[in-house]
Structure 1
């Protein structure tokens, strides 16, 4: 069974635009679980332009499923993860001023750094995942870093889906097969949507988790959060 983890960063963006607490991040996280989501994802950035570090601390004790904290493992982020101790940490190589994540790790040339960071998280009992491009070589070096899982960066798949979905999925199937052969767990995320999610899952049914935020919040504007989460869960059947 593939789990759906809802990324609530965009909800925090709306809240921060007015400076108060509407929408209420804690209620949204709780409602996502109530409506069927099997996890909550947050991606705190150093400038706290959406999810704030304190949000992560507040969310952790109320999560009944799994909390996944994404981010670039700078010192401040590492300290937060070790303090909060989520179910999963996902390492993402984004710079402080990136609008959104746009590539996976070069695990080959960052193997020493990633191995050290992953070792610290695993010592604390936190499941680890490395954000990678759909590249079997990068998956292989992720395994050497000691990670539990890899998360495939799926924006290229989403961008090319309408131009030929068989061609778009091919490198992801290859990378997913490499992960399975190495005994790695498999996640995926970035620009997955109701348009392209079912086909992705149909071709890689052994995927453990998808993390989706932007598309879910956009769809919820028209369909409501409960109905939207239901449709994403249906796409994963």
Structure 2
């Protein structure tokens, strides 16, 4: 069954907007686990505008499901943070400095040598590595040459196109998924997946190992409550 990893960045954003520790990021993570989440995702950025580096250490010490740290490995502080905490998975994302949210995948052809070095560094530390990529078979093939364990398909394009034509929206992702499987890569997906488009995506992408969802899930929780929201997202992933 496809795993649901809950990205708790937006919980940290809310906390930081007022100062103090309300809502408590760690407690929310533990509650997500208790409500059925299969993993917890964080995406620390250099300005610490949401997840703080100190949060990562606290989360690592207490959560019991899979811990996934996303971020830009071109930041040495991020690399040091990951190696110090040794999460189950690190997802490497090519964010620019000050970027609001991730908006593209790696050019795994152009950066193949660099990514190969980074993949080797994290794998030597016993950390599973996933590369954030666009749904382009060439990028998936080149990702495999870096020896990464998985790729995470960037799904904003799917989410936008789904509103007009789901059948066309899913096609590039099917091709990318088929390529990933043909070259032996595990497959994750994330970005703008929600209760409207997730089930369709899951039904058409075979052997999808994990989805990482934050913004939409936390927004839905304002209306549905966190426990019910996680239950509904998990229902979208039933085979």
Q: TM-score, normalised by structure 1?
A: 0.99
Question: 2:163 is paired with a residue of what secondary structure?
Answer: helix
Match of 2:133 in 1: 132
CA contact (8 A) 1:68 1:89 kept: yes
Displacement of 1:105: 0.2
Cα distance in 2, alignment partners of residues 207 and 96 from structure 1 = 30
Match of 1:149 in 2: 150
Match of 2:44 in 1: 44
Match of 2:108 in 1: 107
Structure 1: gaps (5+ residues) = none
CA contact (8 A) 2:177 2:206 kept: no
Match of 1:119 in 2: 120
Cα distance in 2, alignment partners of residues 113 and 161 from structure 1 = 34
Q: TM-score, normalised by structure 2?
A: 0.99
Matches of residues 164-175 of structure 1 in structure 2 within 5 Å?
A: 164-175=165-176
Cα distance in 2, alignment partners of residues 218 and 71 from structure 1 = 22
Deviation per CA, 1:98-152: give whole Å up to 9, x if none.
Answer: 1100000000000111011110000000000000000000000100011000000
Match of 2:98 in 1: 97
CA contact (8 A) 1:2 1:205 kept: no
Matches of residues 172-187 of structure 1 in structure 2 within 5 Å?
A: 172-187=173-188
Displacement of 1:205: 3.2
Cα distance in 2, alignment partners of residues 213 and 187 from structure 1 = 14
Match of 2:77 in 1: 76
Structure 2: gaps (5+ residues) = none
Displacement of 1:162: 1.3
How many residues are paired up?
237
Match of 2:204 in 1: 203
Cα distance in 2, alignment partners of residues 40 and 83 from structure 1 = 17
CA contact (8 A) 2:155 2:192 kept: yes
Cα distance in 2, alignment partners of residues 112 and 57 from structure 1 = 30
Displacement of 1:96: 1.8
Match of 2:218 in 1: 217
Question: 2:5 is paired with a residue of what secondary structure?
Answer: strand
Deviation per CA, 1:184-223: give whole Å up to 9, x if none.
Answer: 0000000000000000000013100000000000000000
Cα distance in 2, alignment partners of residues 184 and 190 from structure 1 = 19
Cα distance in 1, alignment partners of residues 97 and 31 from structure 2 = 30
Question: Is 1:86 matched with 2:87?
Answer: yes
Question: 1:163 is paired with a residue of what secondary structure?
Answer: coil
Displacement of 1:157: 0.1
Match of 1:67 in 2: 67
CA contact (8 A) 2:130 2:149 kept: yes
CA contact (8 A) 2:135 2:153 kept: yes
